[in-house]
Amino acid sequence: MSNAFKNKEFEKVIKLGKQIVESEPNDFDGLLGIGKAYNILNEFKNAIPYLEKAVNCSENDWQFAWSNIELMESNFAIGNIEKAKEFYKKSLEYKGTKNSNKKLKGLALLFGFDKVYENWKTLETDNITFHFQNGTSIIDKENYIKERENAFLNINILFSSYLPKKIDFFVWKSNEEAVKTLNKSLGFTNPKYCISHNRDNQTKGHEIAHNISFWIEKTNIRNRLINEGIGVYFDQTGTDRLKKAKKVLENKRIDIKELWINGNNYSEKIFYPVAGAFVENLVLINQKKFIELCKNQTYENAELIYGKELKEIISEFNKKLNK
């Protein structure tokens, strides 16, 4: 099992773990391993019964800590927030390992369980739970919330995604505050848990689109060009994206195929506007094929979906972009 974990063969971990617990039903390592692997694969409901058994089989602090942390993760990810908080509190009672303590701290900060969020204001809509830090520049919270709930509905017209829980939408008063606390710059989304951490002046739809598009299929494979392009295209600003992309290039020539395959080599300043314009182009050409591409966003999969048409699509877009 341990080798399968190291090699990220999580289906194999589950298979081996089940073989172990079939003959040894109270084997802690087998139960915890299965639960962890299911969590990694976003199959949170499947993880819970094994992790609950792991708690019952725990004897040492590190075992109680790990099983409660994983149960916190599973329950949060499917929207059982209060139950997840209970497991968080239980996790704090035990002396965990270095790795379990690191995971607990990281998830507590991500989920909003850490004491740093004690004085934040929480408001809910049908699809989003908003968490506002005191001191944001947002004056009309009611309108801010309404705009983002509408953004969710507008974006999901195309995707028709079913999210396992409401989006937890954290709004920080400044990027500096977030970096100091999270050690990460805003904004960002962790769609696995339907979570976005935002600056108070971000566009209405960018981070929401990342959550929605992720859950079109829980085993999706993302690529920077398509994923970030989705965020930009669905940001609800109504911007002329091609015009903006051409402006940031400043007469530099760029090739979409190169951007698709080696996207990490490009700065956000250039990458985001170009990606947004290209995704807009794909949506306008064929929505059905674009949705299929969202499930596996690699260039190789695009070749399978679009066939010979892909080269023509890229060639025509390159001409528009570099004109």
Question: Tokens in use for 52?
Answer: 């609950």
How far is Cα 205 from Cα 226, in angstroms, rounded to an integer? Answer: 16
Question: Tokens in use for 174?
Answer: 């400044």
The enclosing H or E element of 98 equals: helix 98-111
Domain of 162: which CATH number? 3.30.2010.30
Domain span at 11: 2-115
Co-location of 60 and 145 in the same domain:
no
Question: Tokens in use for 287?
Answer: 């929505």
How far is Cα 250 from Cα 135, in angstroms, rounded to an integer? Answer: 38
Number of domains in the chain: 3
Amino acid making up residue 2 = S
Kindly report, residue by residue over 51-109, the tens digit of the pLDDT.
Answer: 999 999 999 999 999 999 999 999 999 999 999 999 999 999 999 999 999 999 999 99
Co-location of 211 and 224 in the same domain:
no
Question: What mean pLDDT, rounded, does the chain reach?
Answer: 95
Co-location of 185 and 273 in the same domain:
no
Co-location of 238 and 323 in the same domain:
yes
What phi-psi label fits residue 143: left (phi over 0), alpha (psi between -120 and 50 degrees) or beta? alpha
Q: Kindly report the pTM of this predicted structure.
A: 0.94
What pLDDT, on a 0 to 100 scale, did the predictor assign at position 44? 97
What contacts 53, CB < 8 A, 6 or more positions away? 25, 26, 31
What pLDDT, on a 0 to 100 scale, did the predictor assign at position 294? 96
Per the CB < 8 A criterion, the answer to whether 168 and 112 are in contact is yes
The enclosing H or E element of 190 equals: strand 188-190
Per the CB < 8 A criterion, the answer to whether 190 and 109 are in contact is no
Co-location of 65 and 161 in the same domain:
no
How far is Cα 237 from Cα 204, in angstroms, rounded to an integer? Answer: 8
Domain termination site, one of 165, 182, 216 = 216
What pLDDT, on a 0 to 100 scale, did the predictor assign at position 252? 84
Co-location of 108 and 128 in the same domain:
no
Q: How many CA atoms lie within 13 A of 206 on its CB side?
A: 20
What pLDDT, on a 0 to 100 scale, did the predictor assign at position 219? 85
Kindly report, residue by residue over 268-310, the tens digit of the pLDDT.
Answer: 899 999 999 999 999 999 999 999 999 999 999 999 999 999 9
Which residue has tokens 């049908």? 126
